[in-house]
Amino acid sequence: MATTNTRRKVERVYELLYDEYGPQHWWPADTPFEVCIGAILTQSTSWTNVEKAIANLKAAGLLSPGGLRAARPARIAGLIRPSLYYNVKARKLKEFVGFLYRGYGGRVESMADVPLDALRVELLGVWGLGPETVDSILLYALDKQSFVVDAYTKRIFSRLGLAAEDAGYDDLKRLFEDNLCGGRRLYNEYHALIVEHGKNTCKPKPICGACHLRRLCDSASFYLSGSKD
DNA sequence: GCCCAGGTGGGTA
DNA sequence: TACCCACATGGG
């Protein structure tokens, strides 16, 4: 439901976040393929641990479609151990690379010509890829206009009163895609800013309480409190 | 020692 | 459909 009010709020939160944190320069990776690998490895895991896993893969010469295709799952698991759930994630990497070779000659870039909706459905069919990982791949590896929702997004926007407590992934995705006029660059920056804010404040327990960035939540809440749709 | 981090798949009622 | 659990490291 795109009302003028909701649109203004969603845009205003972006401005507040951008003023606070500045440009985030996402995704931190050298190639589109590396973005995909990072998107899988960062599932329920902090990025610092993912960086170690990616560095290990790189040092072993396995950070490529061919390298991962040739490697045994146990070898991969040992290298990505610093990221969490290394055995399941090793399988996820193999599944993704298998998909890449079956349909796209092992090249992430070859997916770019497929229409967004069709590609999203296709990627969601790959074992180990859920909506957040798929949208991350679409937006950050392929530069397609698909908003990424994560746990921070839900926590922050339900606390701001812009989303229901029990809002699902698609509900939140729609909130942004229906209310943002900007394109891929805006989607890119907005999600990155949400993650940055989520890491620093809006933790599960303290609810922005003792955080030095409380000011941001307060200013956003203040702006949002006066109006209802 | 405890909590939590940029989720997802599978099982059960 | 809606929960619940497994996965299982490392930093604050």
- The CATH number of residue A200's host domain is 1.10.1670.10
Given pLDDT bands bounded at 50, 70 and 90, which one contains residue A64? very high
In terms of domains, do A204 and A122 share one? Answer: no
Question: Is a pLDDT exceeding 90 seen at residue A171?
Answer: yes
More confident residue, A228 or A155: A155
Question: Is a pLDDT exceeding 80 seen at residue A229?
Answer: no
> Strand, coil or helix: what is A161?
coil
The proportion of chain A whose per-residue pLDDT surpasses 90, expressed as a percent, equals 75
Q: Where are the alpha helices (DSSP H) in A22-130?
A: 32-41, 47-59, 65-70, 73-79, 86-104, 116-124
> Strand, coil or helix: what is A205?
coil
Two tokens, residue A103: 């349909």
Chain A 80..119 CB hits on strand B (< 7 A): 84-85, 88
Contact by Cβ (8 Å): A177, A184: no
* A72-88 pLDDT, tens digit each: 999 999 999 999 999 99
In terms of domains, do A20 and A36 share one? Answer: no
Question: Is a pLDDT exceeding 70 seen at residue A222?
Answer: no
Q: Which residues make Cβ contacts (< 8 Å) with residue A159, sequence separation at least 6?
A: A202, A207, A208, A217
Q: Which nucleotide is nearest to A202 (CA to C1')?
A: B4
In terms of domains, do A84 and A113 share one? Answer: yes
Angstrom distance, A204 CA to B4 C1': 9
The chain-wide mean pLDDT, for chain A, equals 90
Number of domains in chain A: 2
Given pLDDT bands bounded at 50, 70 and 90, which one contains residue A168? very high
Rounded to two decimals, what is the model's pTM?
Answer: 0.93
| Residue with the two structure tokens 């800013």 | A193
Q: How many residues can be counted in chain A?
A: 229
- Mean pLDDT value of segment A168-197: 95
* A106-142 pLDDT, tens digit each: 999 999 999 999 999 999 999 999 999 999 999 999 9
In terms of domains, do A111 and A170 share one? Answer: no
Residue A189: what residue type?
A: E
- Mean pLDDT value of segment A89-107: 98
From A111, A141, A171, the end of a domain falls on A141
In terms of domains, do A10 and A45 share one? Answer: no
From A84, A110, A141, the end of a domain falls on A141
Nucleotides of B under 7 A from a protein CB: 3-10
Containing structural domain, residue A97: 32-141
Angstrom distance, A191 CA to B6 C1': 9
Task: Round to whole Å and give the CA distance between A171 and A178.
Answer: 10
In terms of domains, do A102 and A47 share one? Answer: yes
Task: Round to whole Å and give the CA distance between A203 and A173.
Answer: 21
In terms of domains, do A59 and A97 share one? Answer: yes
Contact by Cβ (8 Å): A62, A68: yes
Given pLDDT bands bounded at 50, 70 and 90, which one contains residue A212? very low
- N- to C-terminal Cα separation, chain A: 10
CATH number of the structural domain spanning residue A84: 1.10.340.30
Angstrom distance, A116 CA to C12 C1': 40
